[in-house]
A and B are shown apart, each in its own frame.
Chain A
Amino acid sequence: MAGKRKIPIKPFVFLVCLLPAFWLVYGIFAGSLGANPIETILRDLGDWTLRFLLLGLAVSTVRRLMGWAWVMRYRRMIGLFAFFYAFLHLAVYIGIDHFFDWATIWKDIVKRPYITIGMTALLLLIPLAVTSPKIMVRKLGGARWKKLHKLVYPIAIMGVVHFYLLVKADVREPLIYGGILLFLLGERLYRRYGENFQLAKSIR
């Protein structure tokens, strides 16, 4: 831990988080995104949104279970990357997949539960992204800020449900995301309500 400050690890993590976006941009120019590149881009951005959401939720779990306090430093960045990929996912859906065909998009939102749910999750992410700077934490007050950011739980659940509802038959992948989410939420519930609360506390 002592030598930690000397290595600029945060910019490195930042770049790693950007890799999926770089990969897609590269794929567009290299023509390596398959026969239906728009679908590939849309799916990939959705995948990475979910992954960053779960990763963001995993940060405090890892801190509690492993006792690594330092991971908390990356939580905000990971959360903001979830928003970044979610926003791109929406932008591609509106601006490329449907090319601003608002009538079709609106019909999608009101008629298709998976779109309704996905869109709601995305809207709920906005206040979290907006209140991510430290100054906003101070403005809101720690308690209120924390309460607001509990929204990430329903958002993550909606994200997984959105994925589950859109696949035609092969639900294995959404179920894997669901399993991870269940573990992350379960750990929190267990810590809060579990019988062995004392044990969990001592680990923490």
Chain B
Amino acid sequence: MLIKHTIASDPKSFEITSKAAHLKRRDFLKATLALSAAAILPTSAQAYLPQKIEGVIKSPFSTDEKLNKYDEVTGYNNFYEFGTGKGDPLDNSGDFQPKPWTIKVDGLCNNPGEIGIEDLMGQYQQEERIYRMRCVEAWSMVIPWVGVELASLLKKFDPKTEAKYVEFTTLVDPKQFPGQKYPIIPWPYTEGLRMDEAMHPLTLLATGIFGEELPPQNGAPIRLVVPWKYGFKSIKSIVRIRFVDKMPTSTWMQQAPSEYGFYANVNPDVDHPRWTQAKERRIGEFFRRPTLAFNGYAEEVADLYKGMDLRKNF
């Protein structure tokens, strides 16, 4: 790739000619080969470039807090499919191709089927939602997402009354996701929501950030955003949505059941066994700030958990 860029970005023909004249025959042949490769390569191995999303409307659900910088949102990620370091998703996502992309929706519904990412973006009004994102590791960001309410998509597939939960699955493809070459966590990454959580108006199926399509490291081309839950619930690069009657076992529940529960609601009163959840560091800030119940969305979602022991159902 580097070779291609240095040659292709400097197409001064007089330089090439004069150089060629001085090269030995073999070297000249090599250089010629490299040039023809440069001419062919761009069509086959081009890194994905997110495009601007047109016609995005604002949402009353947005917070007016200060946004995190684009570099922070796209350079500090937990996406183990690309590696476990925070910079790995940016560094290792060069081979990821989010288009074409199809999401299969099935399980307990009357209208199972598939939807392509282009259709989803064309048929549904895309809105901007500026949400707080709180990671279970006690850091947080404010991110301007673009997307559609999950409920509006799910309704199209007409879930049956027996459907109590929704299960989400991430793509498995070690060629595109180099992190999947090692069984760090059980692949595919799986998450789940209770039906009422999935249908809640705050629950977003995100297609973009900062007015553009999602870059690979943020879960391209489509991911979940559940702002009142810890970030790991917001599963990335979704290929399958399934309506089920039993509570799905999420990846982190399989990995460490004592540390990660199904609900994973942001809760300053219930610590993670290895760190406190009472405070968080907003990325870009020096001092930790107090963590809010349901990540500040208690007014909208606390009712969903009325009568539940949130210590047990962590």
Residues on A with beta carbons closer than 8 Å to the beta carbon of B104:
none
The interface size of chain A toward B, counting residues with CB under 8 Å, comes to 21
When A34-B86, A34-B87, A35-B75 are in contact, do A166 and B287 touch as well, CB less than 8 Å? no
In the complex, whether B119 has a CB less than 8 A from a CB of chain A is no
Q: Is the CB of A170 within 8 A of B80?
A: yes
Q: Which of B11-19, B168-176, B207-215, B274-282 contacts A (4 or more CB under 8 A)?
A: B274-282
Residues on B with beta carbons closer than 8 Å to the beta carbon of A34:
75-76, 86-87
Tell me the complex Cα distance, A36–B284, Å. 7
Residues on A with beta carbons closer than 8 Å to the beta carbon of B255:
169
Digitize A105-119: 1 where CB-to-B-CB distance is under 8 Å, 0 elsewhere. 001100110100000
CB distance from A95 to the nearest CB of B (A): 11
8 A Cβ contacts from A154-204 to B:
165-166, 168-170, 172
CB distance from A178 to the nearest CB of B (A): 17
Main secondary structure of the interface of B (DSSP, over half): loop
Q: How many A-B residue pairs have CB under 8 A?
A: 53
Q: Is the CB of B72 within 8 A of A104?
A: no
CB distance from B286 to the nearest CB of A (A): 8
**Nearest residue, chain B, Cβ from A166:** B274
8 A Cβ contacts from B132-158 to A:
137, 139
CB distance from A140 to the nearest CB of B (A): 38
Residues on A with beta carbons closer than 8 Å to the beta carbon of B71:
35
Tell me the complex Cα distance, A144–B247, Å. 61
Q: Is the CB of B75 within 8 A of A169?
A: no
Residues on A with beta carbons closer than 8 Å to the beta carbon of B275:
108, 112
Q: Is the CB of B80 within 8 A of A169?
A: yes
Q: Is the CB of A108 within 8 A of B283?
A: no
- Contact-residue size bin, chain B (C-beta under 8 Å from the other chain): 20 to 34
Tell me the complex Cα distance, A40–B137, Å. 14
Digitize B189-225: 1 where CB-to-A-CB distance is under 8 Å, 0 elsewhere. 0000000000000000000000000000000000000
Q: Is the CB of A104 within 8 A of B84?
A: no
CB distance from B228 to the nearest CB of A (A): 22
CB distance from B177 to the nearest CB of A (A): 15
Pick from A104, A168, A170: contact of B276, CB under 8 Å: A104
CB distance from B255 to the nearest CB of A (A): 6
In the complex, whether B122 has a CB less than 8 A from a CB of chain A is no
**Nearest residue, chain B, Cβ from A108:** B276
In the complex, whether A128 has a CB less than 8 A from a CB of chain B is no
In the complex, whether B288 has a CB less than 8 A from a CB of chain A is yes
Q: Is the CB of B279 within 8 A of A169?
A: no
In the complex, whether B269 has a CB less than 8 A from a CB of chain A is no
In the complex, whether A63 has a CB less than 8 A from a CB of chain B is no
**Nearest residue, chain A, Cβ from B139:** A36
CB distance from A118 to the nearest CB of B (A): 12
Pick from A36, A108, A168, A170: contact of B76, CB under 8 Å: A36
In the complex, whether A138 has a CB less than 8 A from a CB of chain B is no
In the complex, whether B300 has a CB less than 8 A from a CB of chain A is no
Q: Is the CB of B72 within 8 A of A112?
A: no
CB distance from B76 to the nearest CB of A (A): 4
When A99-B288, A104-B276, A166-B274 are in contact, do A35 and B84 touch as well, CB less than 8 Å? no
Tell me the complex Cα distance, A107–B84, Å. 28
When A36-B283, A99-B288, A104-B278 are in contact, do A111 and B84 touch as well, CB less than 8 Å? no
Digitize B33-56: 1 where CB-to-A-CB distance is under 8 Å, 0 elsewhere. 000000000000000000000000
Tell me the complex Cα distance, A101–B256, Å. 29
Q: Is the CB of B284 within 8 A of A35?
A: yes
When A35-B71, A35-B75, A107-B276 are in contact, do A170 and B84 touch as well, CB less than 8 Å? yes
Q: Is the CB of A35 within 8 A of B72?
A: yes
8 A Cβ contacts from B91-132 to A:
none
Given A107-B276, A169-B255, A170-B184, 15 additional A-B pairs, CB 8 A: A34-B86, A34-B87, A36-B76, A36-B281, A38-B286, A99-B288, A104-B279, A108-B276, A112-B274, A165-B274, A168-B84, A168-B256, A169-B84, A169-B184, A170-B84
Q: Closest 9 CB pairs between A and B?
A: A35-B76, A170-B84, A35-B72, A170-B184, A169-B185, A35-B283, A169-B184, A112-B274, A35-B75
In the assembled complex, 5 residue pairs joining A and B whose CB atoms fall closer than 8 Å, in A order, are: A35-B86, A112-B275, A114-B274, A168-B137, A169-B185
Interface residues of B (CB under 8 A from A): 71-72, 75-76, 80, 84, 86-87, 137, 139, 182, 184-185, 255-256, 271, 273-276, 278-279, 281, 283-284, 286-288
Interface residues of A (CB under 8 A from B): 34-36, 38-39, 96, 98-99, 101, 104, 107-108, 111-112, 114, 165-166, 168-170, 172
